[in-house]
Amino acid sequence: LLSDESKFKKAKFAIYKAIHDKKDDFGGGSDKQRFIKTALDTAGVSMSEYEAALASKKAQALLAQWDAGYEVAVISGVPAFVVSGKYLLNTASFGSVDEMAAAVKELLAK
């Protein structure tokens, strides 16, 4: 994932450049197909390869976890930290990493 040659990194930077350098917001987020095409074309991945990977059991399980956590978090900015898919920590309220770690441990015990 970190290699300059990885498909992930190529796709990630294509999206980054489109949004930040070219000021393209992909139709305010409504042009999903162009967003996907931008990433896939740059990474050298066909739409059929993408669809097959997306349909895999591994990807579907990951997306199900993400969907469950998203409803709890409804994250609107960064940084954010969600514990057990239930608790959204306001990182600005902690004075140190140790305080945040203690809060995470407490929430994990619930």
Give the bridge partners for 87, in sequence order: 83
Query: How do the domains of the chain map onto residue ranges?
Result: 1-55
Whether residue 16 contacts residue 42, with contact meaning beta carbons closer than 8 Å, is answered with: no
pLDDT (tens digit, 9 = 90+) per residue, 22-37?
A: 999 999 889 999 999 9
Percent of the chain topping pLDDT 70: 92
Residue 75: per-residue pLDDT: 58
How would residue 77 be classed by pLDDT, with cut points 50, 70 and 90?
A: low
Query: Which whole number is the average pLDDT over 48-77?
Result: 85
- CA distances to 13, 26, 39 from 8, in Å: 9, 19, 9
Strand ranges (E), the chain:
81-83, 87-89
Query: Which whole number is the average pLDDT over 44-54?
Result: 96
pTM: 0.59
